[in-house]
Chain A
């Protein structure tokens, strides 16, 4: 049983003791891009620890080079890596840093990846590859002994690793934002923009004691088409090889019904919740639909704000009033292009997780009030 916690411990107080425990702690960020190092800086400030000295850069021939400039022997190393728009380079930077720490005899290496890359490529699609499994194998092989991440797109990704994975949740922060920043939130309805996010909407709604609505119909994103139905290449029908009475029944193609909203949003605030907001077409379409059905204000709350390409412009021109994302992924540029985007800082829970892991304390406090469906 974990020791009783009197009140939230002061991070600075705890931090001052950090460097003297058990061989010490080193926190690195392996991002070469300055904007991506922001989250790492915040976390290290909360912990009262200086960021470890490391040089990460791209050479003229585009090879990544990582040079650690302090000793990590016998220490607990934490590598904070945020995904930037050069995903493959960011992954490579992290792998090289982790491997360098391993060959320099670090006691343990914990990866802190608030957004886990390639998490949308976690299922078999036609003749594709399960890339998140590949990445998981690469990270374990490079020497990672523990992973901290947030709101994995599919919880099953935890199973791809043979090391402990802590899948933290951003929902308490998003819920707090709703309660503090949306004045008449009690008149809101939590909306799932497709049946896939219904469980998440439900878990939010329960904790706020609100109703839910689910949108179903034509506006499905391209990837969900290929995930359902066939999971491996189709068999070629060779005539004569199969006995006629043993014909495998053909799968009936799905009918796409016109867009329907299950649940009532008339005269309400609609809060669409999802884990990732990347291509915003489906969100914009959902907002249109909700507006037509009588919602007077539309919010989008998502943990990971990828916001690729022209997303800020589309959001600006749409019926969406506000998009709230966490700082798992840097999006300063997108915020400049679209003032509707707001940020919720989650560095506190990441620094708390690092502190607890380093001190060998229980992590269960960080998962209280998290439902099975979140």
Chain B
């Protein structure tokens, strides 16, 4: 019976360590470095022959470098006769350039959901959650938002962009009533944060008492941090699919939900051949 060997790429060592701790394992020994000509070099430091290998690498930071590092590590493990190699990619890069779904891969894909962790956070951290309203900052996120609203048994609202004339900036229109309510915006990623900051202003103008934002992937590139600091958010909550320590120092409104237990449980279940779909609606303890 092969053992689990867990390797970490250099993109998010912290999360990999948390996952390893939950699985009761040490991270596998691997050296990743760059030569002086900036070419990536990977050397696996222990035997993986016949083992079940998992490599944790998130699509964040220097994405092309991290992607190449991941590919080389996978290649090295396969050449070293591992039994199976699984890539654990918390934030999948290039996901917005073309929609990635099961049909694009020749191999098994498990797309896990942060939703159970988000629901748990809301119940534990927002006292007024029973009377809140879940808001989608764009029309595309309606399905995601209604799913959460239904599970909490609360209302939802959405904001959509309306372009009046060719050269005019898009106008944001709120559909739904947020007066005197705590508004919780939910989306999958926070990149430059232009949209959600505008949306927050809109919600306050429409009478919301407090505005939270909960986003799975906190990319926060460009002017994102300064925009959030000057926006009327109570808190901006992201998961740790992407390292957030530096950003939290620059912006006290950012809070982090740990999803390492979801990844660890997915790894454990995959290794034991158990169903992973339990994780789509439950947060492991």
| Binding partners A and B | yes
Q: Which residues of A contact B (CB under 8 A)?
A: 59-65, 85-89, 91-92, 117-118, 120-121, 124-131, 133-134, 138, 233, 278-279, 306, 308-309
Question: B219 contacts A61, CB within 8 Å?
Answer: yes
Question: A60 contacts B191, CB within 8 Å?
Answer: yes
Q: A63-B94, A117-B39, A121-B39 are in contact. Are A92 and B72 (CB under 8 A)?
A: no
> Which of A87, A130, A309 is B39 in contact with, Cβ under 8 Å?
A87
> Which of B41, B47, B71 is A233 in contact with, Cβ under 8 Å?
B47
Q: A91-B68, A129-B42, A131-B72 are in contact. Are A62 and B36 (CB under 8 A)?
A: no
> Which of A64, A127, A308 is B80 in contact with, Cβ under 8 Å?
A127
Closest B residue by C-beta to A66? B97
Q: Tell me if B40 is interfacial: C-beta within 8 Å of chain A.
A: yes
Question: B43 contacts A63, CB within 8 Å?
Answer: no
Question: B63 contacts A63, CB within 8 Å?
Answer: yes
Beta-carbon contacts under 8 Å, B43-74 to A:
43-45, 47-48, 61-65, 67-68, 71-73
25 A-B pairs within 8 Å (CB atoms) are namely A60-B192, A60-B221, A61-B63, A62-B62, A63-B94, A64-B63, A87-B37, A87-B38, A88-B38, A88-B68, A92-B64, A125-B43, A126-B43, A127-B43, A127-B80, A128-B42, A128-B43, A129-B42, A129-B79, A130-B79, A133-B75, A134-B75, A233-B80, A308-B35, A309-B36
Q: A65-B97, A127-B76 are in contact. Are A308 and B37 (CB under 8 A)?
A: yes
Q: Which residues of B contact A306 (CB under 8 A)?
A: 37
Q: Tell me if B222 is interfacial: C-beta within 8 Å of chain A.
A: yes
Q: How far is the CB of A119 from chain B (nearest CB, A)?
A: 9
Q: Which residues of B contact A (CB under 8 A)?
A: 35-45, 47-48, 61-65, 67-68, 71-73, 75-76, 79-80, 93-94, 96-97, 191-192, 219, 221-222
Q: Which residues of B contact A126 (CB under 8 A)?
A: 43
Other A-B contacts than A279-B36, A308-B37, 5 sampled, CB-CB below 8 A, are A128-B41, A129-B72, A134-B75, A233-B80, A308-B36
Question: A121 contacts B191, CB within 8 Å?
Answer: no
Question: A61 contacts B42, CB within 8 Å?
Answer: no
* Cα distance A64–B37 in the bound complex, in angstroms: 20
Q: How far is the CB of A180 from chain B (nearest CB, A)?
A: 30
